[in-house]
Structure 1
Amino acid sequence: MSKRPYHHVPIIESQEALIEIPLEKFAVETPHPYEKLGAPYGKHSPYFLREGVVNRLITAQDYLQQKYADWYIQIFDAYRPVEVQQFMVDYSFQQALAARGLMESELSEIQSKYIWEEVYKIWAAPSLNIATPPPHSTGAAIDVTLVDSNNQIVDMGSPIDEMSDRSMPNYYINNSHPQASVYHRNRKLLADVMEKAGFHRNPREWWHFSFGDQMWAWQHNQLNPDNLMTARYGRLY
């Protein structure tokens, strides 16, 4: 995999603690979707983040409830060791093969390259290089959606982790789907409360937000070229 633009941002590790998310303040995907598949999390559950990121997530939840008192941010995934990143990349490749009715042993080089490119549109490479950590392996990134007052997941027009253009945050902004405006409004609400708390959204994924990692710093620097930031969170463990 080639480097992504944000990988050029230096990391000056803050040594901030990885702490447990206070799940009572949020809605939670149960059982955890990747643990259910057998992902090897080890000593930390997926529901951990850096302390400063947890505090901002609580702030985002407060912003949401100022608008909709009985709505919650639902946590899908947070901290992800590199081993889990590798597991999910491999799993997603196999899912992509199955969806196309293909066998890995029968793939041409061109077919294999195309499918891996599709996988890496959604998944960061499971890099062990300390200069290019997967965002979730820093404890700075989180995948979230919303739950309404009826405890129903708010429809965003596509599921988390879908490998298609529907994952793009603004996919529905000028779309002919009859529910397009609803889906876009829901995505915008999620982005608004998260961004107000200091997060930036992944340009390719409506559900992925981060604070303090390389992607966040790179996005900050794109918006503020006169006030450049380094990343404060690198790979953990």
Structure 2
Amino acid sequence: MILLSDPRVSDTPVADCGEPLADIATCPAIALDPRERDEAGAYGRVRTGVLERLSSASERLPAGVGLLVIEGHRSPAEQARRFALYEDRLRASGITDPAELRRRTSAFVSPVEVAPHCAGAAVDLTLVDRDGVELDMGGAVNGHRTGDERWCPFDAPGLSPSARDNRNLLAGCLREEGFVNYPSEWWHWSYGDRYWALMTGAPAAVYGPIQVLSAGSCDH
């Protein structure tokens, strides 16, 4: 598995297309979990092209099943905070070699300079039924935060048949729209970032880091 700390990811060029961030809440076909949104709603935003593909992906799901986005765009400062937090947790477990620490941390939190979330290119999401109840995915979104790393990989061994079917259902609708999965996190999918470009063979990423300055304005 290629991790986000791999030099091949950071060596991938970026030719940002200039698309702005769009509020996921403007798309009625997609549910947005409010639990991790900041006051400006930045966690509920993605690039306009990503939102269009998410909308199309939702239409590929069977009746009564929908997408629930937990998180979209993330600021570089928040990304750096999360990276340091998980790195500290691994260091406390006895991992002290700097290279290994960075590699292990990047399995669940991307280095800020290549983070798909900071480019507005990634979403953490799951499936819900018509009542908004999350389907059985074999493990929680962001399960690494609670020590449930075993169930985080998309192809984690030991999943129940229903969890495997639901993960495949999620993957099917997203891959049809060009998204790629980060294999250590079943819930993380992205389009247009450096990792996506590397995995698909695209000549360059079309989305680079983007910072929300104020309501309605962005800086690449």
With normalisation by structure 1, the TM-score equals: 0.75
Query: Which amino acid in 1 is paired with 2:141?
Result: I
Displacement of 1:8 in angstroms is 2.1
Query: Which amino acid in 2 is paired with 1:124?
Result: S
Q: Give the conservation status (yes or no) of the 8 Å contact 2:65–2:130.
A: yes
For structure 1, which segment, 139-148 or 41-50, has the greater mean C-alpha deviation from structure 2 after superposition? 41-50
- 1:166 alignment counterpart: 151
Distance of 1:165 and 1:86 partners within structure 2? 24
Q: Give the conservation status (yes or no) of the 8 Å contact 2:27–2:55.
A: no
Q: Give the conservation status (yes or no) of the 8 Å contact 1:220–1:229.
A: no
- 1:19 alignment counterpart: 22
What pairs with 1:19-58 in structure 2 (closer than 5 Å)? 19-21=22-24, 22-32=26-36, 35=37, 43=40, 45-58=42-55
Structure 1, unmatched stretches of 5+, are 36-40, 128-132, 222-227
Q: Give the conservation status (yes or no) of the 8 Å contact 2:5–2:103.
A: no
Distance of 2:207 and 2:95 partners within structure 1? 36
What pairs with 1:16-165 in structure 2 (closer than 5 Å)? 16-21=19-24, 22-32=26-36, 35=37, 43=40, 45-64=42-61, 67=62, 69-93=63-87, 96=89, 110=96, 117-127=103-113, 133-163=114-144, 164-165=149-150
- 1:234 alignment counterpart: 208
Tell me which structure has the larger Cα radius of gyration: 1
Displacement of 1:166 in angstroms is 1.9
- % identical equivalent positions: 25
Displacement of 1:126 in angstroms is 2.1
Q: Give the conservation status (yes or no) of the 8 Å contact 1:198–1:211.
A: yes
Is 1:9 equivalent to 2:12 in the alignment? Answer: yes
In the TM superposition, structure 1's runs of 4+ consecutive aligned residues that sit over 4 Å from their partners are 41-44, 111-117
Q: Give the conservation status (yes or no) of the 8 Å contact 2:83–2:105.
A: yes
Structure 2, unmatched stretches of 5+, are 212-220
What SS class does the counterpart of residue 43 from structure 2 fall into?
Answer: coil
* Bigger share in strand: 2
What RMSD, in angstroms, separates the aligned Cα atoms of the two structures? 2.6
- 1:183 alignment counterpart: 163
Displacement of 1:25 in angstroms is 2.3
For structure 1, which segment, 139-148 or 200-209, has the greater mean C-alpha deviation from structure 2 after superposition? 200-209
Distance of 1:2 and 1:219 partners within structure 2? 14
Once the two structures are superposed, residues 6-65 of structure 1 have per-residue CA deviations (whole angstroms, 9 ceiling, x without a partner) of 222211111111111125322222322xx5xxxxx575521111111110010011111x
